């Protein structure tokens, strides 16, 4: 599970951290901080006591890091994200600060097993999927590569819902990660700001009648209170801050009502404030579209901007140097209203003129686009925006006037193009386009893979790109190798340390030293043994949680990610049904035993995604029970996919399913985690798969299907899925089995509409890619049959994907976007 005890390389960087001293401190912490005696201490108490002991060491470093940023006048990075999908923190922090082994020994001295209490830590699921996980990896990498940074987000009381299955259907249960308190966080009451909503805007004029400034008089106010969590980089050299805002009622309002005897009214007021940060919207790659969501976006953007501006002012005493000392990054458009908010603060609170404020704003902000899906591009109805944020609406109009002026002056846009550049979508349903606002207000707009960035230039931002060339750039996503290799795959980490030494722990690119060992039979066997142990661990989990027995010697084929039609879990399920037919009709062939694993949550309002989960479970029930399958194919859908589950599943994968419709997955990061842990990818030429292929080489990845250009071409020229289905007997048979109720006797029509959708429209090109996908799967079988060949390819994957470290990504952001030294 963890690094071998011989960790002089993970030198306990702080004095007095030998196991005996730590054991004494854990006991003290239990007694004086928790008020518990060992005889009554619960495992949770041990967890909290242990975290607080390590946290004390981290705080020393935290204070040093903060002080040095101040004294050295370092430029700071502010990463604004509505989501941080952090997962558990204990192992991450203990390991990064070099105290994991000593803490394990210290706890053992007290008769407590670290690995047991580690599992009690709740998964901080303050995010939906890839976007939120990226923010978490970035926070860790910024601390690691020594970038002074603050993450800003929301402290949701309820993170992403917990998923259970009831008769194969997804049920959503509330996530209650704060039930036992959160030993990592510090509440900072003194760091709180009022955030306004609604009301009116007044203009103040000077004696001679000139407009001096605007004053926004909000009708509602809530208090944003900061909660800080330290983020420890690898080897603990720098500790940065993740500052999450919690909403509280502004006291005076509440007290007035209460004192006037209106107790219910006071409570209502209090609930109204607190509801703001109660829940994370569970929509991934989909516009939430609710007023509360816009309130959340403004709430955390405004509080963060106040905090940033105040910090800058208190250090430098003026704001003209803001772009030199602060880089504010927008993770997608969720915080895009921050562009208007900074303008408001600069102009209305600090008396800076529009032109200067606009120049400062553009030089301070940068924006990352995460999706081209039209249903995910944020826009807000003008009336709603105006009612909630009247001053910001004025500012958006003023910015828009400036942008449209520049567009007309360029003399290269027709009316339609100008219409697409506008921050306002005109028509009967006038809307504020948050992507255009973020683009206009930023000096850098980046995509998250080479393909996605190219498509961005050609599609959503084609006109803005022509107006402001040079702003769009690519930063291919990455993952932190600490969590996604060192911590989740100790077996592979230790094997690599034995084989090539420890240097790769500090520079994961050095895993390239494993490349020649792909041809070494003895090493391949050790590598296979590590994989086998990881598969055994997953098998045990599946046995315990689901009562399903899976054979660790079978090929473990894994697709884990949010359920979305573009990610094409349906293609995978249809292929499983076709394989089921083949196994039964050709029992003479030597089929390779396979277990297909699924994991992922569906947005509660996403009908087809939930139906796809039910289908996977229905198909699993039939196939897993059919004796004619002879155990050659099993399907296992593990509920409640989250970071902790990923940490068990990724190291256990032989085959990584990355099969999105080409052009629709911006990057993917799951694909990177799997390759780093020695799985072979079966995938389309989409997102970062393209770059993974370039790095691992064509022979070490299985690519199939239409390219993004071919998908676009088919859609443009009249794609006829019905003809394709009629020409593919395997596909036709699988689809008709599903549609006719073979897997749903209790409700034979359950999947009729879903399957008809493939015949009639098939936007996601399941039919077009089906034959290529099955052929690719049979190619996978043939590689699998030759075990040395399989292991060699898997080893080459590990050796060649160090580039996908988020350390690399962050260094590129630092030097090419933020202008921060690394
Ligand atoms: C990495 C990760 C994701 C993103 O996976 P993709 O395959 O890139 O969509 C989503 N959820 C969790 C829990 C993850 O760890």
Q: Is the CB of 240 under 6 A from ligand 1?
A: no
User: Higher pLDDT residue, 814 or 208?
Assistant: 814
Q: Is the CB of 134 under 6 A from ligand 1?
A: no
Q: How far is the CA of 73 from the centre of ligand 1 (A)?
A: 36
Q: Is the CB of 601 under 6 A from ligand 1?
A: no
Q: Is the CB of 129 under 6 A from ligand 1?
A: yes
Q: Is the CB of 629 under 6 A from ligand 1?
A: no
Q: What is the CA radius of gyration of the chain?
A: 27
pLDDT digits over 42-87, tens only? 999 999 999 999 999 999 899 999 999 999 999 999 999 999 999 9
Whole-number pLDDT of residue 6? 37
Q: What is the mean pLDDT of residues 373-388?
A: 96
Q: Beta strands 655-658 and 680-683: pairing type?
A: parallel
Q: Would you say residue 652 has pLDDT above 60?
A: yes
Alpha-carbon distance of 735 to 725, in angstroms, equals: 9
Whole-number pLDDT of residue 4? 41
Confidence band, pLDDT 50/70/90 cuts, at residue 268: confident
Query: Is there a catalytic annotation at residue 809?
Result: no
Q: Would you say residue 162 has pLDDT above 60?
A: yes
Q: If residue 446 lies in a helix (H) or strand (E), which one and from where to where?
A: strand 444-447
- Four-CA torsion 91, 92, 97, 101, nearest 10 degrees: 30
Pick from 130, 641, 681 the residue to mutate for probing ligand 1's pocket: most ligand atoms within 8 Å of its CB: 130
Q: Is the CB of 561 under 6 A from ligand 1?
A: yes
Q: What is the DSSP letter of 376?
A: G
Nearest-atom number in ligand 1 for the CA of 600 is 11
Give 805's contacts (C-beta < 8 A, 6+ positions apart).
Answer: 141, 478, 479, 480, 481, 508, 509
Residue percentage of the chain with pLDDT more than 90: 93
Q: Beta strands 76-80 and 84-87: pairing type?
A: unpaired
Nearest-atom number in ligand 1 for the CA of 658 is 7
Query: Is there a catalytic annotation at residue 673?
Result: yes
User: Which among 483, 673, 695, 793 is annotated as catalytic?
Assistant: 673
Confidence band, pLDDT 50/70/90 cuts, at residue 252: low
Whole-number pLDDT of residue 693? 98
Q: Would you say residue 13 has pLDDT above 60?
A: no
Q: How far is the CA of 640 from the centre of ligand 1 (A)?
A: 13
Confidence band, pLDDT 50/70/90 cuts, at residue 253: low
Query: Is there a catalytic annotation at residue 562?
Result: yes
User: Which among 370, 391, 457, 750 is annotated as catalytic?
Assistant: 370
Please, are residues 579 and 739 in contact by the beta-carbon 8 Å criterion?
no
Task: Give the residue from 693, 655, 682, 677 showing the smallest Cα distance to 484.
Answer: 677
Q: Is the CB of 651 under 6 A from ligand 1?
A: no
Residue owning the nearest CA to atom 5 of ligand 1: 670
Q: Beta strands 220-232 and 211-217: pairing type?
A: unpaired
Q: What is the mean pLDDT of residues 367-393?
A: 97
Q: How far is the CA of 770 from the centre of ligand 1 (A)?
A: 24
Give 418's contacts (C-beta < 8 A, 6+ positions apart).
Answer: 404, 407, 408
Question: By mean pLDDT, which of 233-242, 268-277, 458-467, 652-661 is the weakest?
Answer: 268-277
Whole-number pLDDT of residue 261? 78
Whole-number pLDDT of residue 15? 65
Q: Is the CB of 163 under 6 A from ligand 1?
A: no
pLDDT digits over 491-522, tens only? 999 999 999 999 999 999 999 999 999 999 99
Q: Is the CB of 493 under 6 A from ligand 1?
A: no
Whole-number pLDDT of residue 14? 56
Q: Would you say residue 1 has pLDDT above 50?
A: no
Alpha-carbon distance of 544 to 525, in angstroms, equals: 28
Whole-number pLDDT of residue 3? 41
Q: Would you say residue 735 has pLDDT above 70?
A: yes
Distance of CA 455 to the CA centre of its chain: 21
Task: Give the residue from 361, 69, 409 showing the smallest Cα distance to 240.
Answer: 69
Confidence band, pLDDT 50/70/90 cuts, at residue 10: very low
Q: What is the mean pLDDT of residues 188-200?
A: 96
Please, are residues 622 and 576 in contact by the beta-carbon 8 Å criterion?
no
Whole-number pLDDT of residue 255? 67
Whole-number pLDDT of residue 40? 95
Quick one: the chain helix, strand, coil %, rounded to 5? 55, 15, 30
Residue owning the nearest CA to atom 10 of ligand 1: 129
Query: Is there a catalytic annotation at residue 661?
Result: no
Strand partners, 279: 158
Q: Is the CB of 809 under 6 A from ligand 1?
A: no
Query: Is there a catalytic annotation at residue 561?
Result: yes
Query: Is there a catalytic annotation at residue 370?
Result: yes
**Domains along the chain with CATH numbers:** 1-72+103-121 (no CATH), 73-88+123-476+811-818 (3.40.50.2000), 546-787 (3.40.50.2000)
Whole-number pLDDT of residue 784? 98
Whole-number pLDDT of residue 264? 75
């Amino acid at each position: 599970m963890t690094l071998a005890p011989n960790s002089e390389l993970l030198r306990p960087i702080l004095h007095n951290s030998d196991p005996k001293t730590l054991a004494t401190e854990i006991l003290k912490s239990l007694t004086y901080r928790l008020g518990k005696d060992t005889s009554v201490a619960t495992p949770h108490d041990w967890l909290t006591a242990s975290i607080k002991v390590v946290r004390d060491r981290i705080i020393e470093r935290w204070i040093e890091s903060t002080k040095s940023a101040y004294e050295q006048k370092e430029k700071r990075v502010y990463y604004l994200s509505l989501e941080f999908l952090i997962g558990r923190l204990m192992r991450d922090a203990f390991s990064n600060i070099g105290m994991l082994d000593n803490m394990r020994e210290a706890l053992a001295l007290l008769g407590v097993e670290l690995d047991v209490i580690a599992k009690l830590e709740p998964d901080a699921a303050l995010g939906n999927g890839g976007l939120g996980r990226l923010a978490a990896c970035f926070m860790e990498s910024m601390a690691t590569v020594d970038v002074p940074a603050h993450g800003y987000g929301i402290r949701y009381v309820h993170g992403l819902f917990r998923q259970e299955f009831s008769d194969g259907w997804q049920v959503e249960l509330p996530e209650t990660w704060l039930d036992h308190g959160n030993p990592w966080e510090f509440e900072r009451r003194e760091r709180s700001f009022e955030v306004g909503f609604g009301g009116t805007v007044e203009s103040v004029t000077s004696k001679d009648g000139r407009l001096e400034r605007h004053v926004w008089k909000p009708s509602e106010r809530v208090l944003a209170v900061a909660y800080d969590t330290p983020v420890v980089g690898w080897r603990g050299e720098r500790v940065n801050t993740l500052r999450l805002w919690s909403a509280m009622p502004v006291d005076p309002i509440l007290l007035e009502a209460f004192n006037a005897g209106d107790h219910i009214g006071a409570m209502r007021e209090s609930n109204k404030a607190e509801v703001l940060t109660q829940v994370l919207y569970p929509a991934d790659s989909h516009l939430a579209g609710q007023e509360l969501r816009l309130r959340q976006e403004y709430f955390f953007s405004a509080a963060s901007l106040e905090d940033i501006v105040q910090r800058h002012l208190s250090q430098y005493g003026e704001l003209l140097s803001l772009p030199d000392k602060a880089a504010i990054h927008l993770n997608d458009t969720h915080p895009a209203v921050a562009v208007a908010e900074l303008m408001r603060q600069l102009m209305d609170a600090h008396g800076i003129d529009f032109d200067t404020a606009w120049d400062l704003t553009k030089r301070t902000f940068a924006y990352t686009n995460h999706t081209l899906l039209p249903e995910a591009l944020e826009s807000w109805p003008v009336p709603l925006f105006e009612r909630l944020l009247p001053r910001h609406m004025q500012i958006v109009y003023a910015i828009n006037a400036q942008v449209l002026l520049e567009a007309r002056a360029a003399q290269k846009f027709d009316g339609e193009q100008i219409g697409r550049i506008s921050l306002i979508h005109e028509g009967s349903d006038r809307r504020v386009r948050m992507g255009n606002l973020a683009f206009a207000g930023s000096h850098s707009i980046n995509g998250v893979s080479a393909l996605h960035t190219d498509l961005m230039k050609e599609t959503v931002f084609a006109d803005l790109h022509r107006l402001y060339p040079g702003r769009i750039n690519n930063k291919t996503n990455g993952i932190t190798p600490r969590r996604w290799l060192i911590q989740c795959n100790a077996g592979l980490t230790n094997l690599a340390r034995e084989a090539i030494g420890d240097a790769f722990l500090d520079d994961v690119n050095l895993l390239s030293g494993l490349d020649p060992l792909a041809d070494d039979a003895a090493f391949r066997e050790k590598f296979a043994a590590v994989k086998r142990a990881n598969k055994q661990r997953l098998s045990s989990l599946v046995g315990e949680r689901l009562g399903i027995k899976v054979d660790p010697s079978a090929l473990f084929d894994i697709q884990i990610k949010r359920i979305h039609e573009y990610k094409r879990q349906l293609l995978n399920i249809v292929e499983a049904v076709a394989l089921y037919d083949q196994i039964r009709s050709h029992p003479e062939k030597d089929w390779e035993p396979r277990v297909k694993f699924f994991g992922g949550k569906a947005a509660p309002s996403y009908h087809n995604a939930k139906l796809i989960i039910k289908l996977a479970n229905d198909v699993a029930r039939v196939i897993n029970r059919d004796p004619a399958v002879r155990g050659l194919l099993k399907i296992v859908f593990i509920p409640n996919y989250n970071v902790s589950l990923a940490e068990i599943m990724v190291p256990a994968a032989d085959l990584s399913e990355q099969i999105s419709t080409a052009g629709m997955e911006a990057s993917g990061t799951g694909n990177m985690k799997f390759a780093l842990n020695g799985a072979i990818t079966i995938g389309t030429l989409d997102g970062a798969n393209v770059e993974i292929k370039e790095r691992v080489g064509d022979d070490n990845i299985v690519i199939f299907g239409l390219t993004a250009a071919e998908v676009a071409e088919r859609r443009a020229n009249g794609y006829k899925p019905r003809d394709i289905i009629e020409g593919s007997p395997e596909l036709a048979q699988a689809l008709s089995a599903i549609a006719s109720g073979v897997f749903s006797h209790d409700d034979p029509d359950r999947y009729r509409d879903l399957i008809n959708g493939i015949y009639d429209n098939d936007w996601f090109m399941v039919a077009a890619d089906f034959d290529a996908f099955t052929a690719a799967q049979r190619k996978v079988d043939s590689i699998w049959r030759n075990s040395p060949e399989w292991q060699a390819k898997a080893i080459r994957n590990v050796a060649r994907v160090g580039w996908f470290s988020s350390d690399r990504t962050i260094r590129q952001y630092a030097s090419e976007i933020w202008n921060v030294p690394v």
